[in-house]
Every structure is written in structure tokens, then in C-alpha cells.
Amino acid sequence: EEKKSISFVEQIIEGDLAEGKNGGKIQTRFPPEPNGYIHIGHAKAICMDFGAAEKYGGVCNLRFDDTNPSKENTEYVDSILNDIQWLGFKWANVYYASDYFQKLWDFAVWMIQKGLAYVDEQTSEQIAAQKGTPTCPGTESPYRNRPVEESLRLFNEMNTAESVEGSMVLRAKLDMANPNMHFRDPVIYRIIHTPHHRTGTKWHAYPMYDFAHGQSDYFEGVTHSICTLEFVPHRPLYDKFIDLLKEYEGEAGNITDNRPRQIEFNRLNLTYTVMSKRKLHTLVDEHLVEGWDDPRMPTVCGMRRRGYSSQSIRNFIDSIGYTKFDALNDYALLEAAVRDDLNKKACRVSAVLNPVKLVITNYPEGQTEKLEAVNNPENEADGTHTITFSRELWIERDDFMEDAPKKFFRLTPGKEVRLKNSYIIMCTGCKKDSEGNIEEIYAEYDPTSRSGMEGANRKVKGTLHWLSIAHCEKAEVRLYDRLFNVENTAADERDFHELLNPESLKVLNNCYVESYLKERNVGDFLQFQRIGYFTIDKDSTPMHLVFNRTVGLKDTWAK
């Protein structure tokens, strides 16, 4: 196994292990909120969370941070389970923050009883207006010092079907002058009446992220709670709530040494796409793409449908690494990783995307020949498949020129080219319609020049791909390009609709592919020789084959 230098996160973990912290135990978690499909940014977190546990002999659990029922549902839960497995990771357990609703409620009641939390009946606007600025202390709520009994009664009222959303919140009573704004009496519970995907209508008051995440880590015995840099300012509050939780648990006789440690790394941001869940939702809801798994989406399911291998995504994430500074990662690097991996995996086949007819005039009519095509020159074990040669073939229109410049090594009258896996042919001319469009091209083949024969050894500059007209299938081919025209979409002030690339999808309906592809499956890795990497789309049927272009053979994006 290739090993590069270890990340700063791994250094921290190794330091903790060396100090004997947590009894040498390593436990991490991947904590998605089931409010959308996961994207390649989440894949980076997944590689870290699962990878670190695996590397240090620990466990990684999947925990759904499902504390906001208004945005969550089981469709997202199912897709996340599926996508993590596809990426090649296995969780030890599946947990839900919603499993801790009762424990969190009891802890919140304890906070109220200790004078550490109070119900605030102001509007969210009023509360926001009192926050102050980092250099200027906030204003205390008029409800801050209300009697404990009153807060307890109202907290219970919040959790009834009759409560009104937005009418009350529970706030931690911390420090309205703290330079860390998260300490200025953060809201820890709010009213939501949308039924929860797991607990239904049992609850009406739900904990906020900051009051659920660290506590869930603690309940589960997480040792290293790895997340992204935007949580750096939340860390003191994370630690504070864990201190209080340990005190509360200690009073009940539950004393443990466990103390989860939050560590933050940089988010993955990619050029020419968006990573915000809100924007991804908009793309789907406004039908700007076909769905979450549209092959142009940065989602894991979109990339899978596009034909990216999970290994190439993991290799890319490995190559960019983990740092403490946010950056913008070049999409071209991801594509290079995809090409690199597919080169080892893709089955080489022929497809003609812009066909023109080629007639081999000296090849007998009605005669056919079975030839062998190597599936992958990089991997002999992949074997071969059969292709058929005959008198009438499809070739690419671009592979012929009537008046060609000297450096044109494809088909032109009087010159020879090799047909991949078959014969050397000499172009003899073409037929044009009244407007000068090429209708048919003519050539003669050299019967002694078939691959493997004596005559095949002479130098011929060009090799063309081809299909026998009577032995191929019509196909639809979808050519994908970057979804946005702008490198750094997040930094652009224009509305993101204006940044969309109107040519991100081109559909070709008049393509041909080898009949062999009828036997292949959705998601198979293919290389259309001389064109690019492709896969079979889920829309494909034996009667109507559909292919997605995964990536071209070379990086053609203008720098």
C-alpha cells in the first residue's frame, strides 16, 4: 500500500494514543443530517471519519443528526446509507440523534433547574437584535431571570401540539458579553410541528445542532469528533455543553473518562460547481437538472451515474489531503483521477458518434468475419470480445477529408489507414450529394493485412475505429460538461442561475455502438476508443441504448 505523509488529524490521533487517552480507544462518527443527498464534500468527511477509525483499529459509526424534522426524510436516509457503502466504507452501527431526544430533554430540564437555561418568549428578530457584535456585549433578554418554575412550565408547553412555532425558545443562560457570539445565550430548543421521520408527532420541541451534536458524541463514546472548519468557533460551546453534561451525568452516578475531542479540517470545494445543499436543492426543485443523480451534479449518486468509480473519488480526496485552510480544488484534478482509474478498468469498445458510411469495395458482398477485440490492454485478465467485419461500415465523419493537409493521418483519397483490430485499407474516393455533403466513402482493403498477419506489420500512421453497419446498435449518447461556467461559484455575486453553463448537456441521437454492449450492464466502465470514457445510463434499455460520457480521454478544458 502506497503511504504518503500523515494528515494533521492523524497526528493528533497518534498523539492522543501515545498519551493513552481514552484508554487507547478510537471512535469516530460520520454525522450527516438527512436533509439531502451527499456530495463529494461529504465523501471527503467520510474518507476521514471512516479512514481514521480503520487505520487506528477503531470504529466509525454512522449517526444521522436528525434534529430538524422540517427538512429531513427517509429518502435521504436511504440514499446516504447506499452512497457510503458504494464508496466502500462500513459503519459499526447506525445511530440517530433522535434516539437521544429523551436524554437531551432531561438534560435541558436539569439545565433549567440549575438556572442555566430559560424560556424566552421574544421573536427571533428581537433575540437577534440583542446579540451585539463581537466587540460590543449583547443585551440581556427581559426573560433571562424569570423563575425556574415558569421556564419549566413553558418548556413543557413548548412540547405540546398546541404551541405556536416561533413563539418561544429555550436558551442556555451563558454569557451575553462573551467575545464568542455562540456563548451569548444560544437557543437550544425550538418548536417544530412537522412530524419527524422517526419519532412522528411525539415531540414538538427539538434541540438545536449545538445542543445535540456534542452530547450525541458523548452518549456514544466518540473520542474524535472530526468536522469542518466552520465549526471552529463552535468548539468552546461544544466543550462547555460536554462539561455540563458530565456534571449532570455525574450527579446521577454515571462517571466516565470519556471526553470527545472536536477536530476541524478544510472543506472540499470544487471549481465549476456548487456544494451548498440549499443550491443543490434549488437545482433539483427547479428542474435545472434531472434530479439528485443527474450526472452533472457533484453528488455521490450523480458521479456514480456519470460513470466515476468510487476508487477514483477516493484517490482524488487522498491527493488533495486535509489542511486547516479552506481552498478551491480544481475539477480537472478529479477528472484526472477518474481517467487514471478508468484506464485500468474500462472495457475498450467502438462507438461512432457522428457516422458516415464507408464501403470496402473489394470485400465480397454478404461476407462477414469474426474478429477478436482486446477488452483492456492494461489488464490481460479482462479477456476479449468478438466484433464483426463486413463490406459496409460506419466511421466518424471527422475521420475523412477529401482535400486533406499533409499532417492529416486519417482517411483521405490515395492514403492508407488501419482499421482497429482488422485490416489496412486504402481510400479510393467518395460520393457527394448535390450540395457537396459526403454521402459515402470508398476504400479497398488489403486481405493480407489483418491484425496478426504478415502484411499488418507495415507502417501506417492512422488507426480508425469502425462498426459494421449490419452488426451494430443505434444509441443515444449524452455528453456532459461542467454545470457552471464560473470557476468559483461561491465567490460570484451574481445569482447562481446566471452562472449555469447552458451547454452542460448535449444529446446525440444518431450514434452507433457495438452489439456487444447490449450484453453489458448499467454503470459498467467503458472506453469508446479514441473518444473517451463512457458508461451505460440507467435510462438504457435493450431497445434504446443510452450512454453517458464520463470524461474525455484528455483534459480539453481551456486553462
Closest CA to 274 of 288, 260, 253: 288
User: How far is 330 from 559, CA to CA, in rounded Å?
Assistant: 11
**Please, are residues 420 and 464 in contact by the beta-carbon 8 Å criterion?**
yes
**Please, are residues 127 and 120 in contact by the beta-carbon 8 Å criterion?**
yes
Instruction: Say whether residue 277 binds ligand ATP (CB under 6 A).
Output: yes
Outline where DSSP puts E strands in 259-407. Answer: 261-265, 347-349, 351-352, 355-360, 369-374, 384-389, 392-396
Q: How many C-beta atoms surround the C-beta of residue 453 within 10 A?
A: 13
**Please, are residues 17 and 10 in contact by the beta-carbon 8 Å criterion?**
no
Q: Judged by CB, which is closer to ligand ATP: 242, or 359?
A: 242
Q: Judged by CB, which is closer to Mg ion: 212, or 411?
A: 212
* Shortest-Cβ-distance residue relative to ligand ATP: 41
Q: Please, what is the angle between helix 74-87 and helix 310-320, to 10°? A: 80
45 binds, among ligand ATP, Mg ion, none (CB under 5 to 8 A by kind): ligand ATP
Site for ligand ATP in 252-271 (CB under 6 A): 267-268
Site for ligand ATP in 169-228 (CB under 6 A): 227-228
Catalytic residue among 131, 267, 279, 357: 267
Q: Three-class SS string for 368-384?
A: CEEEEEECCCCCHHHCE
Minimum CB separation of residue 253 from ligand ATP in Å reads: 32
109 binds, among Mg ion, ligand ATP, none (CB under 5 to 8 A by kind): none
* Cell numbers at 516, concatenated: 456487444
**Please, are residues 232 and 269 in contact by the beta-carbon 8 Å criterion?**
no
Instruction: Say whether residue 35 binds ligand ATP (CB under 6 A).
Output: yes
For Mg ion (CB under 5 A), the number of binding residues is 1
Minimum CB separation of residue 520 from ligand ATP in Å reads: 33
Q: Judged by CB, which is closer to Mg ion: 33, or 290?
A: 33
181: amino acid identity, one letter: M
**Please, are residues 428 and 442 in contact by the beta-carbon 8 Å criterion?**
yes
Minimum CB separation of residue 344 from ligand ATP in Å reads: 27
* Cell numbers at 348, concatenated: 475498450
277 binds, among Mg ion, ligand ATP, none (CB under 5 to 8 A by kind): ligand ATP
Q: Judged by CB, which is closer to ligand ATP: 35, or 141?
A: 35
Instruction: Say whether residue 446 binds Mg ion (CB under 5 A).
Output: no
* Binding span for ligand ATP by CB under 6 A among 29-37, 87-95, 287-295, 328-336: 29-37
Q: Judged by CB, which is closer to Mg ion: 34, or 58?
A: 34
Q: Are strands 505-514 and 351-352 parallel, antiparallel or unpaired?
A: antiparallel
Q: Judged by CB, which is closer to ligand ATP: 29, or 391?
A: 29
Site for Mg ion in 5-44 (CB under 5 A): 33
Interacting residues of 25 by C-beta distance below 8 A, sequence separation 6+:
58, 221, 223
Task: Identify the residue among 17, 152, 176, 275 touching ligand ATP (CB under 6 A).
Answer: 275
Minimum CB separation of residue 169 from ligand ATP in Å reads: 20
Vertex 266 angle, CA 261 and 269, to 5°: 145
298 binds, among Mg ion, ligand ATP, none (CB under 5 to 8 A by kind): none
Instruction: Say whether residue 229 binds Mg ion (CB under 5 A).
Output: no
Minimum CB separation of residue 37 from ligand ATP in Å reads: 10
User: How far is 261 from 267, CA to CA, in rounded Å?
Assistant: 19
For ligand ATP (CB under 6 A), the number of binding residues is 14
Catalytic residue among 10, 25, 33, 146: 33
Vertex 244 angle, CA 129 and 62, to 5°: 90
The DSSP symbol for 436 reads -
Instruction: Say whether residue 42 binds ligand ATP (CB under 6 A).
Output: yes
* Binding span for ligand ATP by CB under 6 A among 6-14, 41-49, 299-307, 402-410: 41-49
User: How far is 42 from 270, CA to CA, in rounded Å?
Assistant: 12
Q: Judged by CB, which is closer to Mg ion: 33, or 157?
A: 33
Catalytic residue among 114, 246, 277, 344: 277
Site string for ligand ATP, 294-333 (x = CB under 6 A): ----------------------------------------
Taking CA atoms, 430 is separated from 127, 252, 413, 438, 467, in Å, by 79, 91, 8, 7, 18
Task: Identify the residue among 21, 44, 304, 345 touching ligand ATP (CB under 6 A).
Answer: 44
Minimum CB separation of residue 345 from Mg ion in Å reads: 33
Minimum CB separation of residue 217 from Mg ion in Å reads: 15
Minimum CB separation of residue 187 from ligand ATP in Å reads: 16
Q: Are strands 224-228 and 261-265 parallel, antiparallel or unpaired?
A: parallel
Taking CA atoms, 268 is separated from 297, 309, 471, in Å, by 15, 18, 46
Q: Does residue 277 have an active-site annotation?
A: yes
* Cell numbers at 475, concatenated: 444509441
Instruction: Say whether residue 471 binds ligand ATP (CB under 6 A).
Output: no
Residues forming the site for Mg ion (CB under 5 A): 33
Active site residues: 33, 267, 277
Residues forming the site for ligand ATP (CB under 6 A): 31-33, 35, 41-42, 44-45, 227-228, 267-268, 275, 277
